[in-house]
């Protein structure tokens, strides 16, 4: 599915840690039947087969769903052949002819912008993927990637939530017309402990999860992929699309002065 800056689903299903096969497949199926149209997985998650089964179990047309995966340095590798093999394996595991979106999971270890991204562009030319995505990049690495790629990547996936605003990265995404896909939008559940989010949630008679997601979606170029498995949580997260926060609510969360990452590795680009 060729996507544009106007038609990326506001909310998708993140599947990290959703590794029990039947539970994963059923949660994907349930999400699609509730109205989700973006499913996110990765080599590293070890659940691509289950995600694919959930897609097959659903009655939703394949072309109506954005399916994204990621190539990981410790799996197939980020050299040219590793990227090509990894993408084809993802399609094979999910029983798909193509991926709508494929990310570089982390630009680490054997990552080389020219070699790695040239493989992504070859996959795009060959029809194995529709769009290139980047994940967990620093500004410097983004500049390098954009200088190598013939086309601007569709999406940049980063951790983002009320305790990690990512202002610099967001501004970069907005300037270059890139979707910023916010993972861990509930800060690993920590939004439920925030006095600010509790207060706003009570004001609107919604959950803290909905407040966090609605705050993210109030930002230009931002989309979210909260992970959930139960139907109740899937519904609750999806309902955030219909929640409109007022300017005071948004400003209160904008003013939360915390910079807390919940996803990290020793060689993260921002630690250099």
Indicate which residues carry an active-site annotation. Answer: 45
Q: Tokens standing for 124?
A: 């795009």
| Phi (first) and psi of residue 155, to 5 degrees | -140, 150
**Closest-CA residue to 216 (of 254, 154, 145, 161):** 161
End-to-end CA separation in angstroms for the chain: 36
Long-range contacts from 133-137, C-beta under 8 angstroms, 24+ separation: 133/68, 133/70, 133/101, 133/102, 133/103, 133/104, 133/157, 133/181, 134/103, 134/104, 134/107, 135/70, 135/103, 135/104, 135/105, 135/106, 136/105, 136/106, 136/107, 136/268, 136/269, 137/104, 137/107, 137/269
Cα 88 to Cα 66: distance, rounded to the nearest angstrom: 17
* Widest pairwise Cα distance in the chain: 53
């Amino acid at each position: 599915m060729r996507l544009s800056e106007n038609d990326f689903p506001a909310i998708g299903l993140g599947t990290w840690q959703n590794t029990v096969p039947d539970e994963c497949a059923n949660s994907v199926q349930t999400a699609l039947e509730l109205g989700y149209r973006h499913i996110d997985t990765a080599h590293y998650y070890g659940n691509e087969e289950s995600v694919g089964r959930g897609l097959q179990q659903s009655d939703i047309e394949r072309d109506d769903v954005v399916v994204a995966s990621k190539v990981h340095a410790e799996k197939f590798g980020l050299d040219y052949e590793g990227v090509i093999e990894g993408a084809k394996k993802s399609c094979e595991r999910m029983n798909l002819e193509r991926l709508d979106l494929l990310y570089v999971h982390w630009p680490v270890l054997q990552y080389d912008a020219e070699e790695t991204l040239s493989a992504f562009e070859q996959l795009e030319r060959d029809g194995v993927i529709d769009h290139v995505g980047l994940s967990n990049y620093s500004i410097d690495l983004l500049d390098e990637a954009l200088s190598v790629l013939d086309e601007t990547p569709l999406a940049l996936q980063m951790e983002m939530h009320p305790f990690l605003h990512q202002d610099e990265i967001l501004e970069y995404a907005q300037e270059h017309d890139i979707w910023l896909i916010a993972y861990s939008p509930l800060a690993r559940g920590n939004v439920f402990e925030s006095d600010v989010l509790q207060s706003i949630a009570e004001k609107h008679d919604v959950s803290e999860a909905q407040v966090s997601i609605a705050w993210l979606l109030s930002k230009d170029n931002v989309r979210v992929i909260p992970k959930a498995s139960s139907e109740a949580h899937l519904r609750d997260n999806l309902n955030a699309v219909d929640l409109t926060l007022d300017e005071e609510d948004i400003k209160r969360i904008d003013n939360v002065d915390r910079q807390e990452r919940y996803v990290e590795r020793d060689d993260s680009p921002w630690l250099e």
